Amino acid sequence: MKRISIKKICVSLIAIGLTQYTFANVEQFEAVPGEYVVKLKNDVKSLTDLNLEKFATQGVRVISEENNTILVKREFLEKTQFALTALNNQPEIEYAEPNYIYRTNRLPDDPELSKLWGLVNKGNALAGVDIGAEQAWDIQTGSKKVIVAVIDTGVDYTLSDLSPNMWTNDAELNGEAGKDDDGNGYIDDVYGYDFANTDSDPIDDHGHGSHCSGTIGAKGNDGKGLVGVAWNVRIMALKFLTKSGSGSLEGALKSIDYASKMGANIMSNSWGGGSHSQALEDAIKRASDAGALFVAAAGNHSGDNDAKPTYPATYDVENVVSVAAIDNNGRLAGFSCYGQKTVDVAAPGVGILSSTPGGYKSWSGTSMATPHVSGIAALLLSEFPEMTHKEIKERLIATAKPLSQLRVKTVAGGVANAYYALLNEPAPKDPNDPYYWASKEYKLETAHPYLGSTSKQWVIELDSVSAMALHFKRFDTEKSYDKVTFKDADGNILGIMSGVNDDSFSPVVTGGKMIIQFDSDKSVNKFGFEIDAISYR
């Protein structure tokens, strides 16, 4: 549903006709990154005769030929004041100002919202590390026309957060008990089906499926409980995982085919295991042919899915979106699988609060990251009902918000973002990513392979910098056992790296001094590390 009222934002107006422009504090106001509204002087008679590209580095589009107004796109990392000064010094320009964002600042009144850092993170660890839900909700909050099949341990459709948004099979709901009223092969399948116990009641007796459902679509703005990514949606409950949390290939196949047959737009799959199954891949292809997006958890065993696939997340089918997990500092979760070629995006997956039959609980896993992406997909389909699953997947990847730790860990190099996905705009680069900083060559490496029971420390210093990070050309240690610890000048731990982290950066240290400590045990000895550069600012 669109909202037409807007909240007025006070801005410093740039007076037309003055030769001096004041840009004090413009960066404190929200604006589209890298975009500026430019009014050309009246003596510029034709925009077609003007070399508009000289005003921009990223492109220009016309707002109004009649009013000589254009929109200029410049580099995201360029300072706003610098860009405005450069633009206003052009003789053809009457004035330029940021492309300010106006919004209702609408937030739901659900009392648990402040605890949902994955949706709106205003100070839980690193502020702003979330999926951009607050901004997205001013554009779209979801639609009951969108059906998300949660293929899991079932859904507790009696929970107050979930019951208003449950999908129902109206033919069975309004039909005759004990009869297959819609002829789909299942009797009394009102909310979905239980393929674990072969009955028509997919009630959740574990909690996992309800937890995922709450993140996707807990009813929003109803003054109680918590809220999902999509305030309005229809959740189809498909149970193939038992009370113990396990299920069979047979149940998975039946669940996927049921969802395809009954019109699910999105399938949310926070489960995995087993080797490659042609039957499961074929079922996912049938879902793709039916037009459904298949969102899947990348896995929780810290593995590289490029090297060793995790299923179903790594099936090479065009409707599959594989999801890694991050914590509230924007770091890849220690348990999360990754893959520069096979894991599409990341999403919040550590300490995620949601609904269960036993009350609100905080759980962690790529299982918790996956429903964030399913919810974003639901918002996209609510806003753009004609989008195909292929287009949604491409949009999720193209508009992900870059995070330095994800640059070589996922296809997108960032965390899925609902706001930029709805805008269909690339999210701004991460200014804290050392990849975009200046760099200089620096050589430091362990023995290859390193020796067992190693304990060695290095102090690295660089003059006249405000921050720096080390670049690892190669990094391969025995995961969880052989570690590199990074400390600042005062000995405070900045972070720890272990496992395979080729072409990656260390944590960032403030100032020009970093202490690194390498410790190995007596067992497996791998390559070690090779530092080839320092990035700094």
Paired strand residues for 414: 402
Closest CA to 302 of 337, 345, 348: 337
pTM for this prediction = 0.80
Q: Which of 143, 270, 367, 535 is catalytic?
A: 367
Q: What distance in Å separates the CA atoms of residue 327 and residue 348, rounded to the nearest whole number?
A: 6
Q: What distance in Å separates the CA atoms of residue 417 and residue 428, rounded to the nearest whole number?
A: 11
Paired strand residues for 71: 37, 61
Which residues, at least 6 apart from 445, have a Cβ–Cβ distance to it below 8 Å? 528, 529, 530, 531
What is the 3-class SS of 452-484, one letter each residue?
CCCEEEEEEECCCCCEEEEEEEEEECCCCCCEE
Alpha helices in 362-424 (DSSP H): 366-383, 389-398, 418-423
Q: What distance in Å separates the CA atoms of residue 360 and residue 112, rounded to the nearest whole number?
A: 10
**Cα–Cα–Cα angle for 343, 348, 352, nearest 5°?**
135
Q: What distance in Å separates the CA atoms of residue 80 and residue 223, rounded to the nearest whole number?
A: 39
Using alpha carbons only, how large is the chain's radius of gyration in Å?
A: 26
Q: Which of 208, 211, 389, 471 is catalytic?
A: 208
* Residue 367: active-site member: yes
* Residue 143: active-site member: no
Return phi, psi of residue 280, to 5°.
Answer: -70, -40
- Give pLDDT tens digits along the chain (537 positions): 333 232 222 222 222 222 233 344 454 566 777 888 888 888 776 666 666 667 777 788 877 777 788 888 887 677 888 888 888 888 888 888 888 755 444 567 778 888 999 999 987 777 789 999 999 999 999 999 999 999 999 999 999 999 999 999 999 999 999 999 999 999 999 999 999 999 999 999 999 999 999 999 999 999 989 999 999 999 999 999 999 898 989 899 999 999 999 999 999 999 998 888 888 999 999 999 999 999 999 999 999 999 999 999 999 999 999 999 999 988 899 899 999 999 999 999 999 999 999 999 999 999 999 999 999 999 999 999 999 999 999 999 999 999 988 988 999 999 999 999 999 999 988 888 899 999 999 999 999 999 999 999 999 999 999 999 999 999 999 988 999 999 999 999 988 899 888 899 999 999 999 999 999 999 999 999 999 999 999
**How many Cα neighbours within 13 Å face the side chain of 376?**
38
What 8-state DSSP symbol labels residue 349? -
Are 165 and 218 in contact by the 8 Å Cβ rule? The answer is: yes
Q: Which of 110, 130, 152, 189 is catalytic?
A: 152
- Which domains occur in the chain, in start order? 26-100 (3.30.70), 113-423 (3.40.50.200), 435-536 (2.60.120.290)
* Residue 152: active-site member: yes
Return phi, psi of residue 259, to 5°.
Answer: -60, -40
Structure tokens at 446: 């362990």
Paired strand residues for 346: 324, 415
